[in-house]
Structure 1
Amino acid sequence: MWESKVDIYNVFELRGRTLCYFGVGAINKIKDIAEELKKKGVSKAIVITDEIAYTVTGAKDVVEEAFRNAGIEWTVFTDITPNPTVEQIDIATDLGKSFGAEVVVGIGGGSPIDSAKSVAILLEYTDKDATELYEQKFVPEKAKPIIAINTTHGTGTEVDRFAVASILEKDYKPALAYDCIYPTYAIDDPALMKTLPYNQTKFTAIDAINHVTEAATTLVASPYSILLAKETIRLISRYLPQALAHPDDLVARYYLLYASAIAGISFDNGLLHFTHALEHPLSALKPDLAHGLGLAILLPAVVKAIYPAVPEVLAEIYEPIVPGLKGIPGEADKVAKGIEKWLFDLGITEKLVDVGFSENDIPKLVELALNTPSLGLLLSQAPIKATEQTIEKIYRESLKPLA
């Protein structure tokens, strides 16, 4: 395969709305970024992260040295959890305001970087809070500059305009999509992912699989989003088993990270639909549920539901996982069971009943999918009509294995 000929230590620039430095050793580019910020008059930064992402990955030492050498003061907020809340974002914003932060640095996976994007908006709109932001009570047009240092290979948030947070009192987990929260700079360094735990390695990769499954099949899908989807699934199917067996394999981490980044670009262009719209209620009700696991649980039933509408696309992009598909509507059950088997072979055997949901929860889940702010936009992009009955059927078929 051509991948073996690529020098993974050659840090290249993946250019889009965000300038992303990509490759082993890319973390050292924070030195150049800090110098550039200093030239632009930036003297204070707030770092939004969690303790593990900041210290265990080794990012802390490099970032703090770069800021120190550039003469930039910084403060650190580490109380971001998986499925971050609006309360956490408000506390971080207050810290940023009192410190006088002029730039926001997100270090970690989707939770810290999404939170950093949210803080960057609220530092500009000082009379607003995170609940107002996520309930879409106002439309932001500006944000403080954002630097995203990514430590997982799943979300793609380092190169896109999306962010997610939970409003626990309402069981909401809405999403944002604003041009002002494209990071100015991003760093994708596979070496930061060698310490990613086994399950997070799986679940973040499945997040990327879902991003492209949706982006390739929305009503606004394009040849570009489909092309990126095909390559994402090929790379993940090839390199995920290798990364699970050999966590220190930087080649495997490199291509999983690249797959995640292009998946982020794919859904930045093609948008999302069912799996994300239906997963958000799951992890809103159960914040300890890993986002990627929730997506994995729903994926087979979602593909089964949409396959008759877009069989040619799904047959092509899923060829590495379910080979021999002809791209005809009658294969829906076959491809869904094939995807489920692939997930089971990876050790992802959980279904909704295994993570604490039952038949009795389905009406509440359907209600949240239909009424949570922003999720209606995702559902409107699905290739089939997102009726209450369709949503209910997907949840119901995800309670237990299809096979």
Structure 2
Amino acid sequence: MWEKDIDINEVREIRSRTLVYFGVGAINKISDICKDLKAKGITKLVVVTGHGAYKKTGAWDHVTKAFAENGITYVHYDKVTPNPNTHHVNEAAKMAADFGAQAMLAIGGGSAIDAGKSVAILMKNPGHTAEELYEFKFTPTEAAPIIAINLTHGTGSEANRFAVVSIEEKNFKPAIAYDCIYPLYSIDDPALMTGLAENQTRYVSIDAVNHVVEASTTKVTSPYAIDLAVAVVKLVNEYLPVALKDPTNLEARYFLAYAALIAGISFDNGMLHYTHALEHPLSGVNPHLTHGLGLAMLLPAVIKNIYPAKPATLADVLAPIVPGLTGCACEAEKAAQGVEKWLFSVGSTHKLEDEGFKSSDVDKLVDLAFNTPSLGGLLGIAPTEATKEAVRTIYTESLKPYNK
């Protein structure tokens, strides 16, 4: 049905440039990656991680062994937090420059990978800062080679050209997208993901669903982005409950990781709009807010807004989680309430009020959505006109649940 929403005369870009080693045991490919780096004359790396997952998952043992076998030396920046900020990037970039690092290896979820991508840009653009990068004061065309070992099934950053880093002093959480930050190599090993906590499992997978709901409905989407979206929602609906019940189930982790990977490729082609543009102010104001939870709280109201503009596409994409949609624009309320019911069924029951946001905060959030660098570009490709009133309505309707 979604084919009805495609203008066949619009020329779109189809992107997928990273070599991803995917599957149980893929971490062993780090040895081949290090051999290739050495053959290219790259023997000094900066490693960017969070505080502990790189070790707890077992990834670090494989990495350090491969480094030793191939004569690779490194410096290690391990201070990245969820919702990384420009200070992390600047500190890691200085460490890389002082060491003379030639490439960047990130180990972690989207936060570590996005911070690492930003470090890789600064490595090739000395004299610039992360603040300048994320306020678009220069346009990079080069970055140091990027290798990503992904430890979550959510962002898709291991296979696309996007990165997000906050400028905390301004409550800004901008996104960048440059061809130079496609990773050279990435590893997606589901066996490294079995230790994800229940909430991490829940919210990274909800992140993937949001990626494709948005990517399939922008003004610049493509059949490729939509086709991937249909697959992603089906897979998350089927395997997220399994992983929540049995975190060690490798089949569930495999297909959730695959869903997240192709979701990342989907929005690399279709881009994003309301949900991410409106979530970034939430976690810009509250850096401790889990990104996927922020998205979950906004998604039903976004569905209500956009469904009349893309009913055929959304009926197909949402079919596994909201059965019975026919593609009529009149179904916006049903679709929004159905998505909220599904979110609640997988344990995502919080709304904005539960996370401390009040109706008095809405005007500030609206201003940030329109004033944060890069977010205007996302709002500009939303399928409906992204007026301040429309954005205010989405925030307001996200304060409390639709389903009482």
TM-score by length of structure 2 reads: 0.96
The residue aligned with 1:330 is: 330
The residue aligned with 2:217 is: 217
1:217 and 1:105 map into 2 onto residues whose CA distance is 33
Q: Which runs of 5+ in 2 are unaligned?
A: 1-14
1:230 and 1:117 map into 2 onto residues whose CA distance is 29
1:275 and 1:192 map into 2 onto residues whose CA distance is 29
Cα-to-partner distance string for 1:50-98 (whole Å, 9 max, x where unaligned): 1322100101000000011000001111100000000111001111011
For the residue of structure 1 that corresponds to 2:124, the secondary structure is: coil
Amino acid at match of 1:35: K
For the residue of structure 2 that corresponds to 1:105, the secondary structure is: strand
The residue aligned with 1:39 is: 39
1:112 equivalenced with 2:112 (yes/no): yes
Cα-to-partner distance string for 1:16-39 (whole Å, 9 max, x where unaligned): 310000000000000000000001
The residue aligned with 2:10 is: none
Trace 1:134-153 onto structure 2 (pairs within 5 A): 134-153=134-153
The residue aligned with 1:50 is: 50
The residue aligned with 1:20 is: 20
Trace 1:361-400 onto structure 2 (pairs within 5 A): 361-400=361-400
2:210 and 2:178 map into 1 onto residues whose CA distance is 21
Amino acid at match of 2:40: K
Amino acid at match of 1:108: G
Trace 1:254-269 onto structure 2 (pairs within 5 A): 254-269=254-269
The residue aligned with 2:9 is: none
1:240 equivalenced with 2:240 (yes/no): yes
Q: Answer whether contact 2:359 2:396 (CA < 8 A) is retained.
A: yes
Amino acid at match of 1:51: H
Amino acid at match of 2:193: M
The residue aligned with 1:184 is: 184
* Offset at residue 384 of structure 1 (A): 0.3
* Offset at residue 227 of structure 1 (A): 0.3
How well do the aligned residues superpose, as a CA RMSD in angstroms? 0.7
Amino acid at match of 1:371: N
For the residue of structure 2 that corresponds to 1:384, the secondary structure is: coil
1:282 equivalenced with 2:282 (yes/no): yes
For the residue of structure 1 that corresponds to 2:327, the secondary structure is: coil
The residue aligned with 1:9 is: none
2:186 and 2:162 map into 1 onto residues whose CA distance is 14
* Offset at residue 272 of structure 1 (A): 0.3
For the residue of structure 2 that corresponds to 1:66, the secondary structure is: helix
Amino acid at match of 1:296: A
The residue aligned with 1:82 is: 82
Amino acid at match of 2:33: I
Q: Answer whether contact 2:211 2:263 (CA < 8 A) is retained.
A: yes
Amino acid at match of 1:303: I
* Offset at residue 43 of structure 1 (A): 1.2
* Offset at residue 368 of structure 1 (A): 0.3
The residue aligned with 2:133 is: 133
Q: Answer whether contact 2:16 2:160 (CA < 8 A) is retained.
A: no
Task: Choose between structure 1 and 2 for higher RCO, CA contacts under 8 A separated by at least 6 residues.
Answer: 2
The residue aligned with 2:270 is: 270
For the residue of structure 2 that corresponds to 1:163, the secondary structure is: strand
1:50 and 1:88 map into 2 onto residues whose CA distance is 10
Cα-to-partner distance string for 1:206-257 (whole Å, 9 max, x where unaligned): 0000000000000011111100000000000000000000000000000000
TM-score by length of structure 1 reads: 0.96
1:16 and 1:309 map into 2 onto residues whose CA distance is 28
The residue aligned with 2:4 is: none
1:172 equivalenced with 2:149 (yes/no): no
The residue aligned with 2:30 is: 30
* Offset at residue 122 of structure 1 (A): 0.2
Greater than 3 Å deviation, 4+ residue runs: none
Which moves more between the two structures, 338-347 or 251-260? Answer: 338-347
Cα-to-partner distance string for 1:78-127 (whole Å, 9 max, x where unaligned): 10000000011100111101111101001000000000000000011111
For the residue of structure 1 that corresponds to 2:149, the secondary structure is: strand
1:16 and 1:82 map into 2 onto residues whose CA distance is 26
1:93 and 1:223 map into 2 onto residues whose CA distance is 38
1:198 and 1:347 map into 2 onto residues whose CA distance is 10
1:168 and 1:90 map into 2 onto residues whose CA distance is 13
